[in-house]
Amino acid sequence: MDHLISWEESSTGPTTAPLWKMTCKRAQGVMHNKLLGIHVNFLVVSGDVLGTATAHQKSVAKDQASKEALAKLGWVEGNQ
């Protein structure tokens, strides 16, 4: 089974200045199903949170959550 990640995003506050929360979760594998000649992919999310960050820019929150996830997985040292 492949090791994958999934992202959850949410925002709070006014639309002119939202506060973004990005959560990186562990996902394992992609199940394939052929239904009526159409290939359908399902991502199996285990729910293990690898990283969470909040920022006023979505890209900054995702970058910070990514760094936390990589550190948790042992691929980089923390606090980079």
Q: 19 or 36: which carries more pLDDT confidence?
A: 19
For residue 40, give its domain range. Answer: 3-72
25-57 b/e with 16+ CB inside 10 Å = b? Answer: bbbeeeeeeeeeeeeeeeeeeeeeebbbbbbee
Contact, 23 vs 50, CB < 8 A?
Answer: no
Considering the domain boundaries, does residue 78 fall inside one? no
Considering the domain boundaries, does residue 46 fall inside one? yes
**pLDDT tens-digit readout, 20-62:** 999 998 876 655 555 555 555 554 556 788 899 999 999 999 9
- The pair of structure tokens assigned to 59 is 């890209």
pTM of the model: 0.70
The most distant pair of C-alpha atoms in the chain lies apart, rounded to whole Å, by 49
Considering the domain boundaries, does residue 79 fall inside one? no
